[in-house]
Structure 1
Amino acid sequence: MQLDMTADELRSALNRLRRAQGQIAGIIRMIEEGRDCEEVITQLAAVSRALDRAGFSIIATGLQQCMSGESPAEQDSAQMRARLEKLFLSLA
């Protein structure tokens, strides 16, 4: 399944991922500097939420395309549902 995202959707998802990338670099520095464990864990939780939001944004775009697209064959619909369910569960 190929995901076609508009320029705005793509920019938003990429911005979220870049922010998460920066947060991860910051966490690595914190660990190398021997920063407080609670601060590191707080930042880990924040980056985890950022990645989840990016993933859910991408999945939501896919769902929107599915809902507004051409109606697929019954078997394709069942396969698509199973794949989307697997994607949601991978982020849960």
Structure 2
Amino acid sequence: MNDPLFDILKSTFGTEIAIARFFGTVRAAHWKHHVPENIALLCHLIPDIPYTFDPIRYGRDVKGLKLVLVKPHPTTNPEVTTNDQDVYSKAA
């Protein structure tokens, strides 16, 4: 039985190679049965991955951690702006 987070990653990235490249690892295939806790935390922080970290699953005491487990939402305006008007005039 696959780890539910691994199935989410597989559906998000498509292949195990793409998962490994995204997280900077050599292989993601060994995560099929248990995704490491640090990867699970990163998945929680990435708004595009529909996963919420569950500390109990990793043997953590929820009361001792004092985590806010609210999934971050993607920004509605990802456009980068600058106050330098010369950039726009030189580009035009």
Q: TM-score range by the shorter chain?
A: under 0.3
TM-score, normalised to structure 2, is: 0.26
Higher relative contact order (CA 8 A, sep 6+): 1
- In our comparison, the structure showing a higher alpha carbon Rg is 2
Q: Is the helix fraction higher in 1 or 2?
A: 1
